Amino acid sequence: MTEFDPEKFEEKYVHYFNELQRAYKNAFEYMNERYDSELVHAIDQQVLNESEPQYDEERGEFSVDLPESPYDRLGGVIVERERFEGVLDTYVERIEEELHRVLGVEH
């Protein structure tokens, strides 16, 4: 693995595509083992498929920008908004952790 370069992260899909895939996959596997797999799959396919990982160089942290109205994007699974938001928050935190781990960025 090459050393992480924040400037290259601006073109993340060119420079870090494999690492991004690995981080999202690791987070998915973690969530799928611990939460309702139907909900985790729905979040993965209907919300996170439109997400955008970001890196804040000043703070040295990754974040995940979500599409607008994530709950309204959910189809095919019935879940209370509060439960959905809790699982989504945990999923996003896990993705951020995996981005740090996979890309070797301390935080």
Could you tell me how many helices (H) and strands (E) the chain has, helices first?
Answer: 5, 2
3-class DSSP state of 56: strand
User: What is the residue extent of each domain of the chain?
Assistant: 8-103
Give the model confidence (pLDDT) of 82-91 as tens digits. 999 999 999 9
Give the model confidence (pLDDT) of 36-46 as tens digits. 999 999 999 99
How many CB atoms sit inside 10 A of residue 82's CB?
Answer: 9
Global pTM reads 0.94
